[in-house]
Amino acid sequence: MKITENKVLCAALVFLAAFFAYANSVNPTFHWEDEYLVRDNVHIRRLTNLPAFFRPGYINVYESGAGHRYRPLRTVTLALDYALWKGDPRGYHLSNVLLNCGAALMFWLFCLALTGNGLLALLAGLLFALHPAHAESVAWVKNRSDILCALFYFASAAAFAFYARHGKKTALAASVLLAAPAFLAKEMALTLPFALALALVYSNLEAGKDWKEKWEALVPFFALLAAYVVFRETAMAGGPAAIGAGAAPLARAQLLAVTAGEYLKTLLWPVTLSIDRALPSGGAAALQYGLAAVFIAGVPGLWFSGRRRGAFWLLLFWVLYVPISNLVLIEGRPFAEQRLYLPSAAFCAFIAWALTELPRPGSRLARASLGFALALGLFWGARGAYRNLDWKSEVGLWQKTAASSPSARVYNNLAVALLRENRYEEGIRNAQESLRLDPAFVDAWNTLGAGYHDLKLYDRSISAFEKAVYFSDGRAYKSVMNLAALYSLKGRWQEALAAYQSVLKTAPWMDAAYYNMGLALAQQKRPDEALRAFSEALALNPYNAQAYLMMGRILDEKGDRAGAARVYADLLRIEPGNQQASAYLQANPPGIDSSRATP
């Protein structure tokens, strides 16, 4: 029996290839957003919070979508990870590796269900499993949304392909059910109905049927898409995102071409990988323009030359690519390797088609093609494993990025990583280098302010945070928050309270703003207002032990010892070992009249 005829063996090969290619990404380090999405995220510590993650108004300080990103499935899986691994980063990284294995399996299954070609499906699955451009999605826990979206995207597509070939209604129902989680994982799922329409046309033509046959099966997918778009535009807190408008047509066309070419270059030659890099421009973008032109022209070229299977895979790549194309400008970071995760699958299938169907079966070229495919897979796997090593150290990751792709954003991120390790001189120097490259870069001013604050250079810190607020037109609420804390430290209470109110208008989910406001009000001997602020903080973050302690102290000072006892009892429910709460309750047992209780 040929290897490609043994489905269990093929599935095992794809799974193992994906596992061993990324096994060394399992390490004891969280990266960047992982720290607030996982390590500091109090909401994932209780599985009872799972339903809340699906509410469009779910107030979660650790989600930075500002109302434009709806990715509850990622948060659900992080909560499940916390139940298993608590705060151990290795468990979360292992989950990413296993989910990546699952996504590769689903893509192999989709290729097999659609084409019936075991060799093409196996090769496509292996190439997808091994591609080193996926390192950013697998090694970075927060990028799990890419993997989850692909997992359910291709699971839905595989079920739909089976329906298209065999007409099984149960397969169609399964496809619809599997599509929903893809939308809950990431916005990339917007392309799914169009990809399924393309797959249906392919299946019909391959079977010699009318290309429009079974088109009614697409109705539930487009209905799901319409419901998702309406939800995003109306129910989400941020409303519709209006970005990228106003660019000159020529400049926009150049950006689209360069973006496409750079992504194609990364897929074809994934050697110079970087977590952050600028797109080339002018004469330096000649290669990118050429690649974009060749692969766009390749679709009609292949179709009209009778190679419609190759045209299908290439067209599918372009369909999956649309959300990352900068057709709607992705501000701040217009290019990111992690976004290639889903489109790269179709590109891998295109390569697999070229290597298996272009050469004449049994010819010397056919044997050479398989040898090339083996060499390519080994090269990609080795490159990916080596790339994973970059993620062992946060500082090392950004130092390597700064050496290969220097930019204001990169130097700022390096500064943040250095400050986290208390390397203040180096951190401040890199923040200053970021500002030399971009004097109006808000994040770098905020980082500089944080460095000065830790060194107790408060006047310099205030000046830096004020620059961040100025250059952001007041929208940098974290900088406003930092300013408020410094104003409090300096005794500038009215300015501090006004700043906290400003933060809460912009970011009403900021529990820390309520907590700090409570501290400021308590300092000003305004206990009732302070209690209300602490209550709001606890409503958003029920794990803030200091907020319970402050409320208990204020209530006790007001003579409400029964109320204080209730607050301390609530604290012990979430932090059973808290000594202050235990001592107070021993001295003031609940139920004893407060007028006779022992202080």
Return the DSSP state at 326.
Answer: T
- Cβ(27)–Cβ(392) below 8 Å: yes
Q: Are residues 344 and 478 in the same domain?
A: no
2: left (phi over 0), alpha (psi -120 to 50) or beta: beta
Q: Are residues 440 and 354 in the same domain?
A: no
Q: Measured between alpha carbons, how far is 452 from 461 in angstroms, rounded to an integer?
A: 5
Q: Are residues 54 and 20 in the same domain?
A: yes
- Cβ(411)–Cβ(435) below 8 Å: no
Assign 3-class secondary structure to 3-58: HHHCHHHHHHHHHHHHHHHHHHHCCCCCCCCHHHHHHCCHHHHCHHHHHHHHCCCC
Q: Are residues 551 and 533 in the same domain?
A: no
How many CA atoms within 13 Å lie on the side-chain side of 592? 15
Q: What backbone torsions phi and psi does residue 249 show, to the nearest 5 degrees?
A: -55, -40
pLDDT at res. 246: 52
Amino acid identity of residue 502, one-letter, is S
The 10s digit of each residue's pLDDT in 390-439 is: 888 889 999 999 998 899 999 999 999 999 999 999 999 999 999 999 99
Last residue of a domain, one of 366, 390, 414: 390
Q: Are residues 531 and 551 in the same domain?
A: no
Q: Measured between alpha carbons, how far is 326 from 518 in angstroms, rounded to an integer?
A: 43
pLDDT at res. 234: 76
Q: Are residues 348 and 408 in the same domain?
A: no
Q: Are residues 224 and 164 in the same domain?
A: yes
pLDDT at res. 176: 97
Closest listed residue to residue 25, CA positions, set 128, 96, 105? 96
pLDDT at res. 240: 39
Last residue of a domain, one of 390, 407, 442: 390
Last residue of a domain, one of 390, 405, 436: 390
Q: Measured between alpha carbons, how far is 266 from 202 in angstroms, rounded to an integer?
A: 28
Note down the domain range covering 190: 3-240+247-390
Q: Are residues 485 and 549 in the same domain?
A: no
How many CA atoms within 13 Å lie on the side-chain side of 39? 13
Q: Are residues 421 and 381 in the same domain?
A: no
Output the CA torsion sign for 139, 105, 6, 356: negative
Q: Are residues 300 and 324 in the same domain?
A: yes
CATH number of the domain within which 487 lies:
1.25.40.10
pTM for this prediction = 0.85
Q: Measured between alpha carbons, how far is 288 from 263 in angstroms, rounded to an integer?
A: 9
Q: Measured between alpha carbons, how far is 479 from 291 in angstroms, rounded to an integer?
A: 42
- Residues in the chain with pLDDT < 50? 1, 59-62, 237-245, 592-599
Q: Are residues 186 and 331 in the same domain?
A: yes
pLDDT at res. 282: 82
pLDDT at res. 57: 56
Residues of the chain by 3-state class (helix, strand, coil), percent to 5: 75, 0, 25
Amino acid identity of residue 65, one-letter, is G
| Domains of the chain: total | 3
Q: Are residues 234 and 368 in the same domain?
A: yes
Amino acid identity of residue 443, one-letter, is D
Residue 56, Cα to own-chain centre: how many angstroms? 17
